């Protein structure tokens, strides 16, 4: 069952947590939440009413919230990351720390362990102890999450940091080793909350929802299990552990970017099994377990992108009896009060909207600049490759209701139906040029008209390798005056290639070699424009090697490049041809002469045809 809490402004990942209960009395726990307006607030629930503990004034957007405190004591100090600043507050809202990390990047990830402060930007991770810099590490790809072991640290214990990076690798200021996982890890948490025996275990969830549990030891990782995302749910955005059933074993709580919240319990073999799920229909930014609404009943508190804070409770409200009166009667009374309050708010909103429209009309008629300020709003969008169906998932989420979204593409693409999308789509035929030739600027023009109160739209896009350009989304919310936000997503030449850790060395490969007067950053930028899942930052070292797999044809690609030389190996001659054309084009634009050498292996062509044959038979059967 659901418990409702207040709504705040737009929230980011890990911007909500639950304070531990330090009172000897049996009282409910308090919830702390921060939003992109910079407002930090703490509240509790008393007799089903929201009781505000403190609420700070707006400031810079809050990007992360973590709890900390002295080792061996309750972790009830609130640490907030905002820009490059770290601020600390007591559970009553009194500030005791205001620390500037002097990072050139905004702090996106935060971890507190005693007097040690771990902060992570987009690529840089820094370690501070008592606000003194102890070291840093420059990751080769974007840092998505950070955690430290041991979780329940004691005096004298060392500290080991684990970084979840976008190149499908777990790393942990001196690099001990890297642990490879099947996809880009977006969120990590300790096994059963504290990391397990000798802090050697960790739970990892990747971008499109695969579940992985590698065991991180002092020397090397040991992979325990992995559960694929067969139902093609959204990517995992947050996770936590909490003993909801009261059996002494914490359950795993998972939040996804499509609004789905899952609760999984561990069996005798320590493998998770799904016990419960619920969909909130918008991106989940944080999940935490605790006793918030009623004493004796565990709850899962959930915060969503648009600022809703709600909860799933174990309390059987329909069976509870208070002083001989069934809770249904109490709910009827509460529902009547809520409806009255909503009607009053609706009337106030309608009055203010009428006043605003009158002022706007007068300003437009008088050609005045007084009312030309367009309303601003946040957009949460993702354009990610889905290996399960060889397509791209485009999700667009706005803090307010969406009126319509127009998709325009200058390359041939297909839009596939999504079951969860209730919007009405209409296609506009591309008009020819005045001379009668086809118009190459608009291969696609589609309009999605959303139903009332729709804040999230998901679209499946299928592209063709070799055709590259951009997909543009024009997002128009239900706001007055009308305003539009443009988002642009690249369709790359080798758009169906996914980055992997290794390849099948036994396959025969054809090769392409390019020699010219180009630098390592230049040739790296060429590959970034041609292949997905590559960071903009130039790799460290003199030589870079990348491995890719075509998720549709199952062919493979190896790219090795350094200053003045680039080599490409693939068992698909079409992939090499596409790369040759694109790299030659980029070099020509830079006025760089290339010496191109290639070697075609007949065995690689036979191997590729064997891979294509089952797919051609399948298409032939469908045609019949």
Query: What is the domain-level CATH number for residue 528?
Result: 3.30.310.200
pLDDT averaged over consecutive 10-residue blocks of the chain (624 residues)?
70 90 76 92 83 90 91 89 92 91 87 89 88 85 84 79 75 57 69 54 50 53 71 84 86 89 85 87 90 85 90 69 56 76 86 78 65 75 88 91 92 86 86 72 89 88 92 90 90 92 87 93 93 87 90 92 94 92 92 91 87 83 74
Using the structure block, give the residue that is written with the tokens 């007068």: 362
Could you tell me if 5 and 50 are in contact, meaning their C-beta atoms sit under 8 angstroms apart? yes
Q: Looking at the structure, do residues 42 and 190 belong to the same domain, yes or no?
A: yes
- For residue 206, the domain's CATH number is 2.130.10.10
Cα separation, 547 vs 560, in Å, equals: 9
CB of 77 closer than 8 Å to CB of 89: yes
With a CB cutoff of 8 Å and minimum separation 6, the contacts of 121 are: 103, 104, 105, 106, 107, 108, 143
531 and 461 within one domain: no
**Residue 619 in domain:** no
Same domain, 288 and 332: no
pLDDT digits (tens, 9 = 90+) for 279-311: 888 899 999 998 888 888 888 999 999 888 888
The predicted structure's pLDDT at residue 610? 87
49-55: strand order across its sheet:
16-18, 31-34, 40-46, 49-55
Residues 483 and 355 in one domain: no
Q: Are 39 and 58 in contact (CB under 8 A)?
A: yes
- Whether residues 448 and 369 fall in one domain: no
623 in a structural domain? no
Same domain, residue pair 513 and 451: no
The owner of tokens 């607030």 is: 41
| Interacting residues of 578 by C-beta distance below 8 A, sequence separation 6+ | 465, 466, 493, 494, 530
Q: Are residues 194 and 295 in the same domain?
A: yes
Question: Could you give the number of structural domains in the chain?
Answer: 4
Distance CA 586, CA 568 (A): 16
pLDDT digits (tens, 9 = 90+) for 556-615: 999 999 999 999 999 999 999 999 999 999 999 999 999 999 898 888 888 888 888 888
326 and 272 assigned to the same domain: no
Q: What is the pLDDT of residue 32?
A: 93
pLDDT value, residue 386: 87
Q: Is residue 261 a part of any domain in this protein?
A: yes
Query: Which two structure tokens, joined as six digits, stand for 266?
Result: 């561990």
Task: Note whether 113 and 179 are same-domain residues.
Answer: yes
Which of 278, 300, 315 is the last residue in one of the domains?
A: 315
Q: Is residue 570 part of a domain?
A: yes
Locate 388 and state its tokens: 């399960």
> How much is the pLDDT for 432?
76
Q: Are residues 112 and 201 in the same domain?
A: yes
Residue 620 lies in a domain: no
d(CA 263, CA 272): 9
Closest CA to 380 of 225, 237, 264, 213: 237
Q: What is the pLDDT of residues 218-240, one digit of tens each?
A: 556 666 767 777 777 888 888 88
In a domain, 624, yes or no: no
Are 112 and 68 in contact, with CB atoms under 8 Å apart?
Answer: yes
Q: Which domain holds residue 443?
A: 379-491
Flag whether 195 is in a domain. yes
Which tokens in the block code for residue 75?
């972790």
CATH code of the domain containing 437: 2.60.40
Give me the chain's average pLDDT, please.
Answer: 83
Q: 214 and 289: one domain?
A: yes
- Does a structural domain hold residue 165? yes
Boundary-marking domain end, from 358, 373, 388 = 373
Kindly state whether residues 583 and 472 are assigned to the same domain: no
């Amino acid at each position: 069952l659901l418990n409702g809490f207040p709504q705040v402004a737009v929230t980011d990942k890990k911007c909500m947590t639950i304070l531990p209960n330090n009172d000897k009395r049996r009282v409910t726990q308090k919830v702390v939440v921060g939003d992109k307006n910079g407002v930090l607030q703490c509240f509790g629930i008393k007799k089903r009413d929201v009781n505000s503990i403190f609420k700070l004034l707006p400031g810079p957007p809050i990007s992360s919230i973590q709890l900390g405190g002295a080792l061996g004591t309750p972790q009830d100090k609130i640490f907030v990351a905002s820009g490059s600043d770290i601020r600390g507050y007591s559970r009553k809202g009194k500030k005791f720390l205001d620390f500037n990390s002097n990072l050139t990047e905004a702090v996106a990830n935060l971890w507190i362990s005693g007097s040690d402060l771990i902060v992570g930007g987009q690529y840089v991770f820094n370690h501070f102890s008592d606000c003194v810099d102890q070291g840093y590490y420059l990751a080769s790809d974007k840092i998505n999450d950070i955690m430290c072991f041991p979780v329940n640290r004691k005096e004298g214990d060392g500290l080991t940091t684990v970084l979840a990076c976008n190149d499908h690798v777990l790393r942990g200021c001196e690099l001990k080793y890297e642990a490879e996982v099947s996809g880009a890890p977006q969120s990590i948490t300790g096994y059963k909350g504290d990391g397990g025996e000798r802090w050697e275990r960790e739970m990892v969830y990747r971008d499109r929802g695969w579940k992985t549990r590698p065991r991180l030891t002092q020397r090397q990782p040991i992979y325990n299990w992995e559960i694929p995302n067969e139902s093609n749910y959204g990517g995992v955005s947050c996770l936590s552990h909490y003993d909801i059933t009261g059996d002494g074993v914490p359950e795993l709580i998972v939040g996804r970017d499509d609004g789905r919240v899952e609760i999984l319990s561990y069996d005798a073999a320590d493998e998770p099994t799904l016990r419960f799920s619920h969909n909130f229909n918008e991106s989940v930014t944080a999940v935490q377990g605790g006793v918030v609404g009623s004493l004796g009943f565990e709850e899962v508190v959930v915060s969503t992108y648009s600022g809703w804070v709600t909860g799933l409770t174990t309390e059987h409200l329909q069976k509870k009896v208070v002083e001989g009166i069934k809770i249904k009667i109490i709910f009827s009374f509460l529902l009547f009060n809520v409806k009255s309050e909503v009607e009053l708010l609706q009337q106030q909103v309608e009055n203010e909207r009428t006043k605003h429209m009158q002022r706007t009309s007068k300003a437009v008629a008088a050609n005045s600049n007084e009312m030309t300020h367009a309303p601003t709003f946040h957009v949460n969008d993702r354009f990610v490759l889905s290996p399960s169906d060889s397509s791209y998932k485009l999700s667009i989420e706005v803090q307010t209701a969406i009126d319509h979204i127009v998709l325009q593409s200058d390359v041939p693409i297909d839009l596939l139906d999504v079951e969860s999308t209730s919007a009405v789509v209409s296609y506009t035929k591309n008009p020819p040029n005045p001379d009668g030739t086809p118009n190459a600027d608009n291969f696609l023009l589609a309009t999605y008209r959303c139903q009332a109160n729709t804040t999230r739209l998901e679209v499946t896009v299928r592209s063709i390798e070799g055709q590259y350009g951009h997909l543009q989304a024009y997002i128009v919310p239900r706001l007055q005056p009308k305003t539009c936000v443009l988002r642009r997503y690249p369709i790359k030449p080798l758009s169906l290639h996914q980055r992997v850790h290794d390849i099948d060395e036994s396959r025969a490969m054809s090769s392409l070699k390019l020699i010219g007067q180009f630098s390592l950053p230049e040739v790296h930028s060429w590959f970034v424009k041609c292949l997905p899942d590559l960071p903009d930052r130039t790799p460290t070292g003199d030589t870079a090697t990348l491995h890719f797999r075509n998720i549709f044809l199952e062919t493979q690609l190896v790219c090795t490049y350094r200053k003045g030389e680039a080599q490409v190996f693939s068992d698909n001659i079409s992939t090499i041809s596409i790369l040759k054309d694109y790299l030659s084009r980029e070099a020509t634009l830079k006025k760089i002469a290339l010496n191109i050498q290639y070697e075609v292996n007949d065995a690689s062509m036979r191997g590729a045809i064997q891979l294509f044959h089952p797919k051609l038979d399948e298409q032939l059967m469908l045609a019949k």
